[in-house]
Amino acid sequence: MSTQILIKNIKVLAGIDDGAVLKKSGREMSKLALIENAFLLIKDGLIKDFGSMNECPIPDALSTEYYALNIIDASGKFVLPSFVDSHTHLVFAATREEEFVMRIKGKSYEEIAEAGGGILNSAKKLQSMSEDELFENALQRLHEIIRFGTGAIEIKSGYGLTVKDELKILRVIQRLKKVSPITIKATFLGAHAFPIEFKQNRKGYIDLIVDEMLPQIAAENLADYCDVFCDQGFFTVDETDYILTHATKHGLKAKIHGNELGYTGGVQVAVKHHALSVDHLEFTGEAEIECLKNSHTMPVGLPNCSFFIGIPYMPARAMIDAGLPVCLATDYNPGSSPNPRMSFIISLACTQMKLTPEEAINATTINGAFALELSKTHGSIAKGKIANVFITKPIPSLAFIPYSFGVDMVDEVIVGGKVF
Ligand code: NIG
Ligand code: FE
């Protein structure tokens, strides 16, 4: 008989639905259904049942069912669906605290990038690290983020910037997928920055992406999506358009970095290509909001990046008020977001972006799942979904989670129906 988990006496079971909700937009984002004094039953890795404690199915203490049941008492605690982190650069070779100090002394993120730091700095370090070492480091980080309550994640390449090294990162992600207790989606981001040797020959690098990287990646099935950093000083709208046209031919949907450094047309080109998501959006005005309204593209804010490198926050409040869905992710990377905790994201969402706790949780669960095409299996507590949940410490209210910024309220984590 398979082991089952019964979580009983849950103070509040939050983020439940019937499994049919794929994303939440506008006012729906403020609704987070919950049951007080609840139970949650997990079987064969899936959510089997949940409800009020009055209906809790505790088998007879002498039965074999009872013997196979792992009972967790969650008195005073909340249970929530695990976070879905839809944007990370988790595979990297080295941290970049020297650039952090340069920014303290007055250099901007863009100035550091122009001087060969930033993404190129990370690429140089990654190019000289073996696939095995990258894998071991990344696996350790993956286990760390699972303990922080993340139950599905996207990981991008983009620190390789040569055919060999982009394939190397994507192979690392593929290996992670095989051993990971949580679902991973891989995104090819060869168009993250122009390598120095191509600074005067942009077309040369784009040809490399289109003629060499994309065909090999598609042939080996190494990526689910294709990303381009479409922004000031990086890839232009026309270059992005060209790369995405070829990515589509190889069956890769788009997930775009855009509008981080200016009103650069990233949103419009993403929507034109029916991108699954367009991420960053620190520079979002009326035109971008209108464009997103007529699309299925999920806008993804990355508040850690705003906090850490000192740029504006995505105007998430105005976007929700305009009826849009909003998703939030960590952007975990060594340059602009060295913190992988989704619980800090929800604190920033509330304090800096003026989202309510309910909106912040929807933005980091069901809408994150939508941005990774995982809404049918992840992002909420629904019968038949993968049993990815976390149990908090004893807390007085839902708002206490984002209120306790920087302090982790995640106590116990269950992924794929197993205590992690
Ligand atoms: O999403 N903006 C582009 N790429 C990453 C940062 C990469 C880096 O600085 O290493 C981001 O913030
Ligand atoms: Fe990013």
Q: CATH number of the domain that 398 lies in?
A: 2.30.40.10
252 in any annotated domain: yes
**403 and 308 in a common domain:** no
Token pair of 190 as six digits:
């060869």
Q: Which ligand is nearest to the CA of 123?
A: 1
**115 and 87 in a common domain:** yes
Token pair of 322 as six digits:
């305009």
Report which secondary-structure segment, H or E, holds 413.
Answer: strand 410-415
pTM (whole model) above 0.95 = yes
What spacing in Å lies between the alpha carbon of 131 and ligand 2's midpoint?
21
Q: Which residues surround ligand 2, an ion (CB under 5 A)?
A: 331
CATH of the domain at 159: 3.20.20.140
Q: Is the dihedral of CA 92, 97, 98, 104 positive or negative?
A: positive
Mutate to test the pocket of ligand 1, among 89, 157, 308 (most ligand atoms within 8 A of CB): 89
pLDDT of residue 66: 84
Structural contact between residues 230 and 258, judged by C-beta atoms closer than 8 angstroms = yes
CB atoms within 10 A of CB 363: 30
Strands 77-81 and 225-230: unpaired
376 in any annotated domain: no
Token pair of 234 as six digits:
């990086």
Token pair of 391 as six digits:
């149990």
CB atoms within 10 A of CB 116: 12
What spacing in Å lies between the alpha carbon of 76 and ligand 2's midpoint?
37
- Residue 263 belongs to domain spanning: 83-371
Token pair of 376 as six digits:
């049918």
Any residues with CB less than 8 A from the CB of 112 and at least 6 apart, and which?
99, 102, 103, 118
**398 and 337 in a common domain:** no
How far apart are the C-alpha atoms of 342 and 334, rounded to whole Å? 16
Ligand 1 touching residue 333 (CB < 6 A): yes
**386 and 362 in a common domain:** no
**406 and 340 in a common domain:** no
Closest C-alpha to ligand 1, atom 12: 336
Q: Which ligand is nearest to the CA of 231?
A: 1
Token pair of 254 as six digits:
């788009």
Token pair of 377 as six digits:
């299996």
**89 and 77 in a common domain:** no
CB atoms within 10 A of CB 296: 14
Return the amino acid letter for 382: A
11 in any annotated domain: yes
Which ligand 1 atom is the nearest neighbour of the CA of 118?
A: 9
pLDDT of residue 1: 53
What spacing in Å lies between the alpha carbon of 89 and ligand 2's midpoint?
6
pLDDT in tens, the chain (420 residues): 567 999 999 999 999 999 999 999 999 999 999 999 999 999 999 999 999 999 998 888 888 888 889 999 999 999 999 999 999 999 999 999 999 999 999 999 889 988 889 999 999 999 999 999 999 999 999 999 999 999 999 999 999 999 999 999 999 999 999 999 999 999 999 999 999 999 999 999 999 999 999 999 999 999 999 999 999 999 999 999 999 999 999 999 999 999 999 999 999 999 999 999 999 999 999 999 999 998 999 999 999 999 999 999 999 999 999 999 999 999 999 999 999 999 999 999 999 999 999 999 999 999 999 999 999 999 999 999 999 999 999 999 999 999 999 999 999 999 999 999
Ligand 1 touching residue 331 (CB < 6 A): yes
Mutate to test the pocket of ligand 1, among 257, 264, 308 (most ligand atoms within 8 A of CB): 257
Q: Which ligand is nearest to the CA of 154?
A: 2
303 in any annotated domain: yes
The 8-class DSSP code of residue 369 comes to H
User: Residue 270, SS3?
Assistant: helix
Structural contact between residues 343 and 393, judged by C-beta atoms closer than 8 angstroms = no
**269 and 387 in a common domain:** no
User: Residue 301, SS3?
Assistant: strand
Structural contact between residues 171 and 158, judged by C-beta atoms closer than 8 angstroms = no
How far apart are the C-alpha atoms of 194 and 116, rounded to whole Å? 10
The 8-class DSSP code of residue 263 comes to -
Structural contact between residues 7 and 393, judged by C-beta atoms closer than 8 angstroms = no
**396 and 326 in a common domain:** no
**174 and 201 in a common domain:** yes
Which ligand 1 atom is the nearest neighbour of the CA of 331?
A: 1
End-to-end C-alpha distance for the chain, whole angstroms: 20
